[in-house]
Amino acid sequence: MGARGGVSRVALPAAGSVMTFGALDGGTAPGQMGCRSLARELARWGVRELR
């Protein structure tokens, strides 16, 4: 995934993707985000819920 892969976790749901992934206990690989960080970033991008 790499360090830049984290952007896809936020940008794709913001563009309408129906799935993303957040690790329960923080990132497990470079670029992965924990659930709390992911939720915070999704809110910054205006994503309020995933469907």
Q: Where are the alpha helices (DSSP H) in the chain?
A: 6-14, 35-44
Q: Print the domain residue range for 22.
A: 3-44
CA–CA distance, 22 with 9 (Å, rounded to integer): 8
Report the pLDDT value the prediction gives residue 41, as an integer from 0 to 100.
86
Mean pLDDT of the region 18-44: 82
Q: In terms of Cα–Cα distance, which of 27, 4, 16 is closest to 38?
A: 27
pTM reported for the whole predicted model: 0.68
Q: Write down the mean pLDDT value for the chain.
A: 79
Per-residue pLDDT band at 20 (split at 50, 70, 90)? confident
8 occurs within a structural domain: yes
In a domain, 50, yes or no: no
Burial class of residue 46 (count of CB atoms within 10 Å of its CB; 0-12, 13-18, 19+): exposed
24 assigned to some structural domain: yes
In-domain check, residue 51: no
Q: Total structural domains in the chain?
A: 1
Contacts of 15 (CB under 8 A, 6+ apart): none
| Residue 29 forms part of a structural domain | yes
